[in-house]
Amino acid sequence: GPSHPPPVPQELEEVRRWEGARDVRLRDRNVRRWEGLLLPNTPPYNAGAFRFELTFSAHYPLAPPCATLRTPIHHPGVDPEGRVCQPLTTHEHWAPTTRAIQVLQDLLLLLDSPDPQRVLRPDLARELQERPEEFRHRAQEHTRLHAEPRPDPPGP
């Protein structure tokens, strides 16, 4: 069928104003590919920033966008390729009224509070459950090694 217009500029502006992300821009000047930094709120991930990419198909908003993390993270809900378990963006659950910012808010929530229902790395889920101290320590170390520095908060 015909391709739909790309995501509206207001959606990008909305994400740029959100405190959960920084440095949000088009990747390769492509309106269907956004990137930026997600800023988790809770330890151990809040010591760094995590680069994300959001890709919109030609059928958006009828088809969901796809979010991936470009920064490696020690987290049960993110696989080594940066894919995330996001029921919100599956074809069963997607609603065309859902906005890009909601997809990113959902991703940030997953980073902040790993969800036993949203697991792509069962080994890490088990570690978190059975050896939480060890998990936290590893995630902290991993964040220190791989995450990007957190940008300063915007001034007044």
Q: Which residues are catalytic?
A: 85
Q: Which amino acid, residue 51?
A: R
Domains, the chain, ranges and CATH?
8-146 (3.10.110.10)
pLDDT in tens, 91-150: 999 999 999 999 999 999 999 999 988 999 999 999 999 999 999 999 999 999 999 999
Please state the three-class secondary structure of 132-153 as a single string: HHHHHHHHHHHHHHHCECCCCC
Statement: the pTM of the whole predicted model exceeds 0.85: yes
- Name the pLDDT band for 54 (thresholds 50, 70, 90): very high
pLDDT in tens, 21-50: 999 999 999 999 999 999 999 999 999 999
pLDDT surpassing 80 at residue 72: yes
